[in-house]
């Protein structure tokens, strides 16, 4: 699994961190997404897919 985030689209809702805090973080100054792990382990795959599904700005893309 490869994760791609779009910082331009991100609106800092924090939903990705709530869903998968080991894979996503938020930038200190404005809450914009920070990708901690672009190739998350299989154990986190479901959480990461959920993070992408609940991102209101559609800023997370997953390439299987």
Rounded to whole angstroms, the Cα distance separating 1 from 53 reads 15
Rounded to whole angstroms, the Cα distance separating 59 from 16 reads 10
**Where does this chain bind other proteins (CB under 8 A)?**
11-15, 17-19, 21, 25-26, 28-32, 50, 53-54, 56-58
Smallest distance, Å, CB 18 to other proteins?
5
CA dihedral 22, 61, 55, 14 (to 10 degrees): 30
Smallest distance, Å, CB 24 to other proteins?
9
Question: Which one, 8 or 64, has the nearer CB to other proteins?
Answer: 8
């Amino acid at each position: 699994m490869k994760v791609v985030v779009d910082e331009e689209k991100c609106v800092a809702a924090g939903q990705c961190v709530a869903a998968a805090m080991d894979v996503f973080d938020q930038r200190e100054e404005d809450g914009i997404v920070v990708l901690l792990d672009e190739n998350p382990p299989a154990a986190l795959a479901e959480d990461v897919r959920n993070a992408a599904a609940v991102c209101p700005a559609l800023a997370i893309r997953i390439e299987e």
